[in-house]
Amino acid sequence: MHTSYVVIVVAYVLVMLGIGYWSMRRTKNVGDFFLGGRTLGPWMSAFAFGTTYFSAVLFIGYAGKLGWGFGIHTMWIVLGNTLIGTVLSWLILAGRTREMTERLNAITMPEFLRARYDSKTLQAISALVVFIFLVPYSASVLMGMSYLFALTLNIDYLQALYLLTALTAVYLVMGGYFAVAVSDFLRGIVEFAGVMLMVYLLAHHFGGFHHATAMLLSDPSAAPGITGAAKPMGAGWLQVTAPGWMSLLGLVIITSFGPWALPQMVQKFYSIRSRADVKRAVVIAGIFSIFMAFGAYYSGALTHLFFGPHLPPELMSPHGPLWDKIMPFFIVNAGLPRVLVLIIVLMVFSASMSSLSSLVLVSSSAISVDLFGAFVNRHANPKQTMVLLRVLCVVFVGCSLALALKPPTFIVNLMAMSWSTLAGVFLAPYLLGLFWKRATRAGVYAGIFSGLACAVLLFPDWGWGSAGVPIAGAITMFVPMIVMPIVSLFTTPPSPELLASAFGEVKPLEETPEGVTV
């Protein structure tokens, strides 16, 4: 690797570490470390949300596998991620979440569930789920960054993996969420410029954006790479290969509705300064989302034009395509100047560092704040909780590294399974807990265990198998949304005191003529 590239990467890393050190000096308690003191404005909150949403998993795993497999049809995912995953989530959830979590004095998802449903056991179970299922997601982000560094900057994969793991641990342990938020704003600017440059240059390789898009729209083999050849249906960009449309729909659901309940995404709603800032954050986050999602998936779709219906031998193994290496291979071999390759690398690196930092922060808090806090009052000894939080950041990064060294599957499935399971556990309790006063503790338990049961039954090879992961994920997410309301309607309603603590002053629950409390 050229010396100038090393200097640029090292300078970038030093800036991130400098932000971490500066943030450490203003981080006084657990609330500061985890939420930045609930004082972040719309720009920082929106950029923190967007950079956590779009990481190396998107630019390397999803863009490569799905772009080559589905071609231009991945624009449906862009639409879902922008309108549902970003705009609607901010409009529907952000303000309500900010106010209710402050009333309940909750700084994490498990703490919110404990306070909303009055259950220490629920907090402990939720904490274990967060820690266990965010490890694969964190490992997938580390893998994506390491593959990119290895193939574009000629660094050994293991060396890149160890370097990035160490950087994440040191940077996050120092500054906590405020360091993440400040650096997210700077990284977001790098990402925004980098993704636009990447799209322009890669499209230029095929004669410009208009010509490349026309080629993608007329491509007759845009989907068999995912689920195998099948009879195509429809025409133009609406054409989707059956049964590939089921996998595509599952991916839209997972990547669009999943963020509604992912702890690392919801955290951004806790920390925003006020409900008034939410309105401004919606616009900022929406614009950022559409450009980032479009840039990633459109670039991925161009791999279908670059490689054609068959991947080269370098991207094949005895077990099938090396999905995670498609985008790095494409970037390196598309004829881009090396300095521009470096800019793209820094862009993906920026996105991934943000996602990884949020994952580590949320996962370490699951043990130090939630599992520990379910039985010991974290306010009684805040210094002890802070030390434990920092130590567990390192432990979680170590677990992610161990999984990244021997991954059980490729990046896309790791992320899909993680997102779907977490959303299956938290979507119903969180969403209904915000808006439905009749939601009960028994209903929450039924919803959580139905989501976990779907994950156990559908994800392994003896269930749907690898090809059915997106469909299995969508089912896992929405079964609890049916189970929880049904069980809640037939179990003891929450007390007026509990509802008052969550919603403020509320009227007593009334009974219908049929005797069902509403």
Domain harbouring 46, CATH code: 1.20.1730.10
* Closest residue by Cα to residue 11 from 262, 190, 222, 279: 190
**Can you say whether residue 506 is alpha, beta or left, with left for phi > 0 and alpha for psi between -120 and 50 degrees?**
beta
Q: Please tell me the least confidently modeled range out of 97-106, 366-375, 419-428.
A: 366-375
Reading the block at residue 411, the tokens are 């990046």
Binning pLDDT at 50, 70 and 90, where does residue 438 land? very high
Q: Is residue 499 included in any domain, yes or no?
A: no
Supply the pLDDT for residue 512: 45
Q: Please tell me the least confidently modeled range out of 71-75, 184-188, 329-333.
A: 184-188
Q: Is residue 483 included in any domain, yes or no?
A: no
For the ranges 70-74, 164-168, 336-340, the maximum mean pLDDT occurs at 70-74
Q: Is residue 476 included in any domain, yes or no?
A: no
In degrees rounded to 5, what are phi and psi of residue 241?
A: -75, 130
Q: Please tell me the least confidently modeled range out of 143-152, 199-208, 425-434.
A: 143-152
Is the separation of the CB atoms in 296 and 62 below 8 Å?
yes
Q: Residue 368: helix, strand or coil by DSSP?
A: helix
Number of domains in the chain: 1
Binning pLDDT at 50, 70 and 90, where does residue 513 land? very low
What is the residue range of 77's domain? 3-227+234-412
* Closest residue by Cα to residue 218 from 188, 238, 191, 193: 238
Supply the pLDDT for residue 227: 39
Please determine, for residue 358, whether its predicted confidence score (pLDDT) is greater than 90.
Answer: no
176/28 Cα distance (integer angstroms): 11
Averaged confidence pLDDT in the chain: 76
H-type helices in 366-435, by residue range? 382-405, 411-435
Binning pLDDT at 50, 70 and 90, where does residue 441 land? very high
Supply the pLDDT for residue 173: 62
pTM above 0.85, yes or no: no
Reading the block at residue 363, the tokens are 């996962």
Supply the pLDDT for residue 226: 44
Reading the block at residue 502, the tokens are 């969550």
> What is the mean predicted confidence (pLDDT) over 488-500?
93
> What is the mean predicted confidence (pLDDT) over 415-438?
88
Please determine, for residue 213, whether its predicted confidence score (pLDDT) is greater than 90.
Answer: no
CA distances from 498 to 207, 371, 395, 435 (A): 62, 22, 36, 14
> What is the mean predicted confidence (pLDDT) over 219-240?
42
**Can you say whether residue 154 is alpha, beta or left, with left for phi > 0 and alpha for psi between -120 and 50 degrees?**
left
Supply the pLDDT for residue 283: 92
In degrees rounded to 5, what are phi and psi of residue 332?
A: -70, -35
> What is the mean predicted confidence (pLDDT) over 165-175?
68
Rounded to 5°, the CA angle 212-245-412 comes to: 75
Q: Is residue 313 included in any domain, yes or no?
A: yes
Supply the pLDDT for residue 461: 52
Binning pLDDT at 50, 70 and 90, where does residue 380 land? low
User: Residue 173: enclosing H or E segment and its boundaries?
Assistant: helix 157-204
> What is the mean predicted confidence (pLDDT) over 146-153?
73
Q: Is residue 459 included in any domain, yes or no?
A: no
34/268 Cα distance (integer angstroms): 10
How many helices and strands in the chain, by DSSP H and E? 23, 4
35/37 Cα distance (integer angstroms): 5
289/83 Cα distance (integer angstroms): 9
Supply the pLDDT for residue 49: 86
The length of the chain in residues reads: 518
Residue given tokens 């790791």 in the structure block: 414
Q: Residue 280: helix, strand or coil by DSSP?
A: helix
Residue given tokens 């265990």 in the structure block: 449
Q: What percent of the chain has pLDDT over 90?
A: 18
Q: Is residue 431 included in any domain, yes or no?
A: no
Q: Is residue 455 included in any domain, yes or no?
A: no
> What is the mean predicted confidence (pLDDT) over 302-315?
82
Higher pLDDT, 440 or 305: 440
Binning pLDDT at 50, 70 and 90, where does residue 369 land? low
Supply the pLDDT for residue 458: 79
User: Residue 233: enclosing H or E segment and its boundaries?
Assistant: strand 232-233
* Closest residue by Cα to residue 308 from 233, 235, 225: 225
* Closest residue by Cα to residue 452 from 496, 481, 420: 420
Q: Please tell me the least confidently modeled range out of 76-90, 222-236, 281-295.
A: 222-236
Supply the pLDDT for residue 345: 76
Q: Is residue 498 included in any domain, yes or no?
A: no
